[in-house]
Amino acid sequence: MGNELDFHGNIRTPDIRMLYDMKEVLYDREWLDRASNVELYYMYRDLYKDESNLEKMKEHNLRYDITVIPPRMLGREYVKTAGHYHPYVPGTELSYTEVYQVLEGKATYLLQKQEGDLITDVMVYNAEAGDCIVIPPNYGHITINATGDTLKMANWVARDFSSVYGPIKELSGAAYYLLVDGFITNPDYGEVPPIRSRETMDYPEFGLSSGEDMYDLVDDMDKLAFLTRPQDYTSAFKEIVGK
């Protein structure tokens, strides 16, 4: 009962990610062998203020979610999400995209691009409350809470696909782990590029500005078309990636 979320008067219960759900992607296996199967984070999916908002979301094939990640150490590693990629938009070689906004706390977002068997780019953003992070096409991503405070973040994403967890799970996590002493490479990947540290930014073309609640785009959902039609925004994504 204590994990319910009140979203504009709508009381929602979460899907819960348990520690043992994450066993394949954690760094500290010795710690894991001794650990109990505790709750790690909470996912509140398909949130809306009212039925008219829900109809707009369905019309545009979008979904608004909130994830809450309390602070915790997973042995030597900071608590994180399982990590995933997105499937390709049918008829293209570009995956569906996503946008996050930090609502409370601070987040570390690690984005990695896989081409064939190689990771060709790794970007890290450190985001604070109000900041937005757009996940470009063909990037997998994980979120890390490397603080002592609870992280609460929202996302907009296409509502009719399933995230692709297999590639990250098969390689024991993302290309880098974030430990107390900093990032270290995941040896299962072999050679990986160095991390590119990126600054958070506004995305005016998408109606996204730091400090402005991105849920309000429910009233201007054409701004979110980049989530379902990334092929129409390749120049914007090239600028976001910065290389």
Identify the domain containing residue 198 by its residue range. Answer: 5-241
Residue ranges in the chain modelled with pLDDT below 50: none
The confidence score (pLDDT) of residue 54 equals: 98
> What digits encode the pLDDT tens for the residues 190-228?
899 999 999 999 999 999 999 999 999 999 999 999 999
The confidence score (pLDDT) of residue 2 equals: 76
Q: Are 93 and 226 in contact (CB under 8 A)?
A: no
CATH no. for residue 112?
2.60.120.10
The confidence score (pLDDT) of residue 117 equals: 87
Instruction: For the chain, count helices (H), then strands (E).
Output: 4, 16
Which class for 40: exposed (0-12), middle (13-18), buried (19 or more C-beta within 10 A)? buried
The confidence score (pLDDT) of residue 116 equals: 87
pTM: 0.97
Number of domains, the chain: 1
**Residues with Cβ < 8 Å from 90, sequence gap 6 or more?**
none
The confidence score (pLDDT) of residue 209 equals: 97
Q: Which amino acid is at 218?
A: V
Q: Which residues pair with 135 in a beta bridge?
A: 98
